[in-house]
Amino acid sequence: MRSDDDPSQPTRDVAATFLRWSTTRAVFHRGWWLLTSLYLVVEAGLTASELLVYGAVLALTTVVAEVPTGVIADTISRKRSLVIAHIVMGTGMTLMGFVTNFELILVPQVLWALGWTFSSGADIAWVTDELNRPDRISRLLITRARLEQVGAASGLVGFGLLGWWIGLGPAIVIAGVGMLLLGAVVALTFTEHNFTPTHEDRWRTSLAIFRGGLALARRDREILTVLAAWFLVQSAAEVGFLVPKRLVELGLPENPAPIVWLTALGLVTLAVGALALRAVEQRIDGVGAARSFYVVACMVGAIGLMVVAAAPEEFTAAAGVLLVEGMAWPVARSVSEVWVNRRATSDVRATVQSMLAQMESFGEITAGIGLAIVAQSVGLPALFSAAAALAALAGLLVLRSHAGRAS
């Protein structure tokens, strides 16, 4: 079976292509996010409530678009979905460097979120079917997550220095252009031999795929458990928008510039994450491993959030950030993707993965709106404490369920 590409051409190493692309994408994405997170606070001057609303708008965009774009990937082409993702996402990333007004900022962010929905689910579905090696895919996805940490570290250093040198706005634009160029690389180098697109009656087929993915998610107790736990984890992770503000509030030094401190923290966080994912990579195929890793990740996240909440100064808070963003969230994310991928069938794989991403967005919306409402009346410590409770609840949900005990 094939779609766009001639299988008579020399076969590419699908795994290596996937890993190189994922690592490079992480360079541009994490570098851009570092610049943007500081840009929103320092140059755009957004308040805590505006930051939370900003996050909720991103999440709302993905909630609306996530499953339809997943169905498109399962119906038309996973490769084409990835190319579209780069075009739309790169455009939004580029535009961000030109605006500082809160309302205008939402426009490029909606584009970024829309572009991301074309990618999420399609990437895992593409490599799973194109590789066609069920015995290798779980470890490959964890390896991808680990190498993304390496790419993200490179992005932090490179774009952190670039932002310090030429300014946040111009550096943001360069990151966006880089994402657009990477889309051209996907168009030229990705194959698609093991996917058969739908050419006739696409609407009916798309609807059938959507219903099939929904039915699978509803009847599979393990997928349901992961979806519910991921919703809670992402509700807790929404306070990540407030980390720079919390560190500044506690007295982040101004010499050298805050971007230098945030870059350094990001690098250490990524190093910790790479080590944690390496441990997961070696053991993910063990009986009950996914379940155990998920529970530990949630509990570590809860502890880290409490440390951020109770920290008397910025360096203690930074230690909490290492636990949360360096260990807990990367492990929870990668294990969620592996766990759902194991349970999904090929015909609805991108759609079911998109449902996982949709739960992420539902969590962000719920927490974003709720935290925005109370942000003016309670301090940041209370917000981080509430997030810690949600992370702990996610861990307890998985611990008390029967999901993953024998797989």
pTM: 0.74
pLDDT of the residue at 303: 94
Residues 121-125: what's their mean pLDDT?
A: 84
- Phi, psi (degrees; rounded to nearest 5) at 192: -155, 75
From 200, 236, 219, 233, select the one nearest 352 (Cα to Cα). Answer: 219
The backbone torsions φ and ψ at residue 97, rounded to the nearest 5 degrees and listed phi first, read: -70, -5
pLDDT band, residue 211 (cuts 50/70/90): low
Count other Cβ atoms within 10 Å, centred on residue 13: 10
DSSP letter (8 states) at residue 251: T
**Higher-confidence residue: 326 or 28?**
28
Question: Which pLDDT belongs to residue 244?
Answer: 79
Calpha distance 225→231 (Å, rounded): 10
Q: Which of 263, 285, 399, 368 is nearest to 51 (CA)?
A: 368
CA dihedral 234, 238, 241, 247 (to 10 degrees): -100
Selected residue with higher pLDDT from 355 and 89: 89
- Helix count (H) and strand count (E) of the chain? 16, 0
Q: Is pLDDT above 80 for 305? A: yes
The answer to whether the CB of 234 falls within 8 A of the CB of 363 is: yes
| pLDDT at 5 (0 to 100) | 46
pLDDT of residue 376: 65
Identify the band that residue 133 occupies on the pLDDT scale cut at 50, 70 and 90: confident
Which of 108-112, 155-159, 207-211 has the least mean pLDDT? 207-211
Give percent above pLDDT 70 in the chain: 86
**One-character DSSP codes across 34-97:** HHHHHHHHHTS---HHHHHHHHHHHHHHHHHHHHHHHHHHHHT-HHHHHHHHHHHHHHHHHHHT
Q: Looking at the predicted structure, is the pLDDT value of residue 145 above 80?
A: yes
Within 8 A by CB and 6+ apart from 181, the residues are 90
pLDDT at residue 55, as a whole number: 72
Residue whose C-alpha is closest to residue 205's, from 73, 315, 303: 73
pLDDT at position 179: 96
Residue 7 reports pLDDT greater than 50:
no
Q: What is the pLDDT of residues 161-175, one digit of tens each?
A: 898 889 889 999 999
202 has pLDDT over 60: no
pLDDT at 308: 86
- Measuring CA to CA, how many Å separate 117 from each of 62, 74, 82? 6, 13, 9
What value does the mean pLDDT take over residues 117-141? 86
> Into which CATH architecture does domain 14-196+213-400 fall?
Up-down Bundle (1.20)
pLDDT mean over 278-293: 83
CA–CA distance, 332 with 284 (Å, rounded to integer): 12
Q: Is the pLDDT of residue 8 over 70?
A: no
Token pair for residue 271?
């190093």
Kindly indicate the confidence band of residue 212, based on its pLDDT and cuts at 50, 70 and 90.
low
CA 238 – CA 368 distance, rounded (Å): 6
The answer to whether residue 75 scores a pLDDT higher than 60 is yes
Does residue 142 register a pLDDT over 70? yes
pLDDT value, residue 209: 56
Are the CB atoms for 14 and 127 separated by under 8 Å? yes
Count Cβ atoms within 10 A of the Cβ of residue 230 and give its class: 0-12 exposed, 13-18 middle, 19 or more buried. buried
Q: Mean of the pLDDT values across residues 239-255?
A: 77
Q: pLDDT of 343-359, one tens digit each?
A: 777 666 777 777 777 77
Q: Greater confidence, 103 or 11?
A: 103
Write down the mean pLDDT value for the chain.
Answer: 82
Write out the E strands in 286-383: none
Q: What pLDDT was estimated at residue 176? A: 95
**Given this model, what pLDDT does residue 314 score?**
80
Residue 9: is its pLDDT beyond 70? no
What mean pLDDT do residues 209-228 have? Answer: 73
Q: What is the mean pLDDT of residues 52-80?
A: 78
* Pairwise pLDDT comparison (385 vs 286), residue with the higher score: 385
